């Protein structure tokens, strides 16, 4: 196996949503400017981009609020090793959630 390397990764505030064609994508909820229900839910980002999603306006708000709660209430998360083709073996990751101090 390749050498073991340690990386620190700060997680970004992300939620998983679905496009109208059911394709899932991850959105940084810090970039949400407004939400509209017209009748589909339209997410407007701070750069003006608009995304139509399957989730209701209330669901998107709940997902964003739940993530923010977890962000500041849960302890840091540790991941031992993950396979990595880029490094020719396994890579050890030390992960912590943004807003928390190190371990």
In a domain, 91, yes or no: yes
Would you say how long the chain is, in residues?
103
Instruction: Say which residues have a Cβ less than 8 Å from residue 16's Cβ, sequence separation at least 6.
Output: 24, 25, 26, 27, 63
For residue 53, the model assigns a pLDDT of: 97
Residues 6 or more apart from 35 whose CB is under 8 A from it?
41, 42, 43, 44, 57, 60, 61
pLDDT beneath 50: ranges in the chain: 1-3, 9-10, 79-82, 91-92, 94, 96-103
Does residue 47 lie within any of the structural domains?
Answer: yes
Segments forming the whole domain that contains residue 89: 6-97
Residue 1 lies in a domain: no
What total of structural domains would you count in the chain? Answer: 1
Residues contacting 68, CB < 8 A, separation 6+: 13, 29
């Amino acid at each position: 196996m390749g050498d073991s390397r340690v990386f620190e990764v700060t997680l970004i505030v992300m939620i998983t949503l679905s496009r109208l064609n059911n394709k899932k994508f991850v959105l940084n909820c810090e970039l949400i400017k407004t939400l509209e229900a017209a009748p589909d839910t339209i997410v407007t980002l701070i750069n003006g981009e608009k995304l139509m999603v399957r989730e209701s306006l209330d669901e998107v708000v709940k997902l964003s609020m739940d993530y923010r709660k977890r962000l500041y209430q849960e302890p840091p998360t540790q991941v031992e090793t993950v396979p990595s083709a880029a490094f020719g073996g396994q890579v050890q990751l030390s992960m912590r959630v943004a807003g928390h101090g190190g371990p």
